[in-house]
């Protein structure tokens, strides 16, 4: 993964929801070109942060047997810019789509209590061991949730 966009996981409940934090630092290289002289976090990377958070939900809920891969963004609304220095509170909730039987997720990102993005997306589970080392990801999750002293 080029960008690891979840800095901390603050809460989660297996199979239901997960919440975390993305800190936007001026030193992040994507801000250099988006936009020169007016740095703004790209909306696609904000969406990616929510998808990564969903991956952690699926991993932790499956004892690190599965990961999430987004397949379709059903609806996405942006409500403002995310700037360097912002602490973005991100959360994802799992929903069932009764029409398709697929897992669907609703993501929300806020800064200082103000909504910045709301998105509904779906996808599939992949075996985690086909894309990452399971034990490394388990340890990384412990760091993100502060279960492991660093």
Residues noted as catalytic = 34
Largest CA distance in the chain: 46
What span, in angstroms and rounded, lies between the C-alpha atoms of 87 and 21? Answer: 7
ω into 35 cis (within 30 of 0):
yes
| N-terminal to C-terminal alpha carbon distance within the chain | 22
Four-residue CA torsion sign, 137, 112, 115, 39: negative
* Residue pair 38/77 in contact by the 8 Å Cβ criterion: no
- Bridge partners (DSSP) listed for residue 99: none
């Amino acid at each position: 993964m080029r960008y690891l966009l979840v800095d901390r996981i603050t809460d989660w409940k297996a199979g239901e929801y997960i919440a975390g934090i993305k800190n936007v630092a001026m030193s992040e290289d994507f801000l250099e070109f988006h936009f020169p002289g007016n740095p703004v976090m790209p909306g696609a990377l904000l969406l990616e942060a929510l998808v990564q958070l969903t991956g952690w939900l699926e991993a932790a809920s499956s004892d690190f047997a599965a990961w999430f891969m987004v397949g379709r963004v059903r609806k996405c609304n942006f409500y403002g810019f995310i700037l360097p220095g912002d602490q973005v509170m991100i959360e994802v909730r799992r929903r069932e789509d009764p029409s398709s039987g697929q897992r669907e997720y609703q993501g929300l990102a806020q800064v200082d209590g103000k909504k910045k993005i709301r998105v509904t997306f779906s996808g599939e589970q992949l075996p985690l061991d086909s894309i990452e080392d399971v034990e490394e990801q388990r340890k990384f999750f412990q760091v993100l949730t502060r279960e492991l002293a660093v």
